[in-house]
Amino acid sequence: MLKVKSVAIDTFKENVAYLHRDCPLYRTEGFQALMKIEIYLKKSDTPILAVLNIVDDSNIVNVDELGLSKQAFKQFDKKQGVKVSLAPAKPPLSLTAVHKKIAGETLNKDDFHLICQDILENRYSKMEIAAFLVACSHTGLEREEIFFLTKAMVESGKQLNWGESIVVDKHCIGGIPGNRTTMIVMPIIAAHGMLMPKTSSRAITSPAGTADTMEVFAQVELSIEAMKKIVRQHRGMLTWGGTAKLAPVDDILISVERPLAMDSTGQLVASILSKKIAAGSTHLLIDIPVGPSAKVHQSHDALKLRKLFEYIGDLFGLHIDVVVSDGSQPIGNGIGPALEARDVQQVLSNQENAPRDLREKSLKLAGRILEFDPDIRGGQGYIIARDILESGRAYEKMQAIIDAQGRVENTQKKARLTQPVIAKTTGYVHAIDNLKIATIASLAGAPIDKYAGIHLIKKVADKVTKGDVLFIIYADFNSNFDFATEFAHENEVYSLKNTAPVAQDNYFI
């Protein structure tokens, strides 16, 4: 038995345990550095898993101690000195199923359940998770397998129940910078009286997630109790989904999928739907942007994806409506939390200079969601949404929700460094590369630096003269600024042509 000691090392999402080389356990049990170990308070408890580091310095840990990184220590309720026992972690049994998948076989319900259980209990290393994801991506998953995976992910965490027959949600499959429609749609829907308890994610590789942008205005990390109280009173909220522990296996898979830049259809569908089902949604609007630099390039691929969402949604009794939208450029003018928050503020307060595309797309999405209400006639949703926005009721609702979640003192702070990017030729804008815009904003420091990002001056259909400013880069730190401006100068972000594009007033295809 060893005494637990907190070691002040932050290892992010990875549990690390520190054992002194002269600890009798080290040799007698054949432990090795980087080995995975199980740590028990009592033999009957579920163990905590951690990666072992071996220490030769008694100032870090003594021979009778087990050091734990901050993350691991938290899981022992911060009890310094508590006695624990160790054992080498056994390899997860469900790896057999992963090998079946690598060999191209189809997995069953139990396989997916066991894999998700082992991942949840931290028994998979990141490379084992990568093997699972690549194997699933490669063969693709059968429709049935996507259902099993979704179900296993839902069951890996908590499930919310709001006790009403219509609980609405919306989700964009992503890939379009800006596009902060949720922050306009939610207050419109809540102002109408429909229940929209929205949980959103933070950005992982994109320059901002909805939770990051909302955080410019309000607290987003709330307890489930606090969320329930706000939703009862205001019919809506916009919080970070992480505290609610909804489909936590999804978060673990994403933490490997994103750095690998993997985006397989099966995983995408299972990821989105497991979160919504766990969040207690009954009606869901899914937005699939289509464009040359969007996630989906062709309308027929969007159609296939729609069928898949519908198939899985039906099996869970989740009512799904899918819209296919224009993904030829970012939506709104700002990219990065604070810059996007400004766009949202302009739309909600009906300002003259509010980005028109963000406003129109949000109204159309809100309209479709309002039509989940059996009392609203098909096609009337948009008009009702516009009335709610123009009357100022959406703005008021948002202010009430911001106050309820906890208002953040808005300093109107701006980034320290700016760099305008200039057109090298003359012409009309036909497309703006979403991926490159996202890369530049990320390099500039978004979302960790809330004020970093991009402000787009020219959008699709605008006429540009050589020397005009296309967009402005905002950054606070020198190295970020250098990376972002260098990338912007080396890459063609805007597609310019000599003739104007055909007018595109419909944001849905």
* Residue 33 found at the interface with its own copies (CB under 8 A): yes
Q: Least distance to its own copies from the beta carbon of 75, Å?
A: 17
Integer angstrom CA distances of residue 37 from 29, 47, 80, 217, 490? 11, 9, 19, 42, 47
Q: Least distance to its own copies from the beta carbon of 369, Å?
A: 35
45 secondary structure, DSSP code: S
Judged by CB under 8 A, the chain residues 252 through 271 that form the site for its own copies are: 256, 259-262
* Residue 204 found at the interface with its own copies (CB under 8 A): no
User: Residues 35-74 vs its own copies: string with x where CB under 8 A?
Assistant: ------------------xxxxx-xx--------xx----
Q: Least distance to its own copies from the beta carbon of 246, Å?
A: 23
Residue 343 designated active-site: no
Which one of 137, 219, 243, 419 is in contact with its own copies (CB under 8 A)?
137
Q: Least distance to its own copies from the beta carbon of 476, Å?
A: 8
* Residue 120 found at the interface with its own copies (CB under 8 A): no
What does the alpha-carbon distance between residue 201 and residue 254 come to, in Å, rounded to a whole number? 11
Number of residues that bind its own copies (CB under 8 A): 57
List, in order, residues 6 or more apart from 458 with CB less than 8 Å away.
423, 429, 464, 468, 469, 470, 471, 494
Judged by CB under 8 A, the chain residues 463 through 502 that form the site for its own copies are: 477-480
Q: Least distance to its own copies from the beta carbon of 187, Å?
A: 32
Judged by CB under 8 A, the chain residues 394 through 453 that form the site for its own copies are: 445, 448-449
What does the alpha-carbon distance between residue 325 and residue 22 come to, in Å, rounded to a whole number? 63
Which one of 1, 14, 314, 391 is in contact with its own copies (CB under 8 A)?
14
List, in order, residues 6 or more apart from 468 with CB less than 8 Å away.
422, 423, 457, 458
* Residue 75 found at the interface with its own copies (CB under 8 A): no
- Neighbouring CB atoms inside 10 A of 329's CB total 27
* Residue 503 found at the interface with its own copies (CB under 8 A): no
* Residue 297 found at the interface with its own copies (CB under 8 A): no
Buried b (16+ CB within 10 A) or exposed e, 131-146: bbbbbbbebebeeebb
Q: Which is nearer to its own copies, 53 or 434 (CB)?
A: 53
Buried b (16+ CB within 10 A) or exposed e, 113-122: bbbbbbbbbb
Catalytic-role residue among 57, 118, 263, 387: 263
What does the alpha-carbon distance between residue 402 and residue 209 come to, in Å, rounded to a whole number? 17
List, in sequence order, every residue forming a beta bridge with 240; answer none if it has no partner: 200
Q: Least distance to its own copies from the beta carbon of 509, Å?
A: 25
Sign of the dihedral defined by the CA atoms of residues 458, 460, 466, 470, in that order: positive
Residues 150 and 270 sit within 8 Å (Cβ to Cβ): yes
260 secondary structure, DSSP code: T
Q: Which residues bind its own copies (CB under 8 A)?
A: 7-14, 16, 18, 21, 28-30, 32-34, 53-57, 59-60, 69-70, 87-88, 95, 99, 102, 104, 125-131, 133-135, 137-139, 256, 259-262, 445, 448-449, 477-480
Q: Mind telling me the catalytic residues?
A: 263
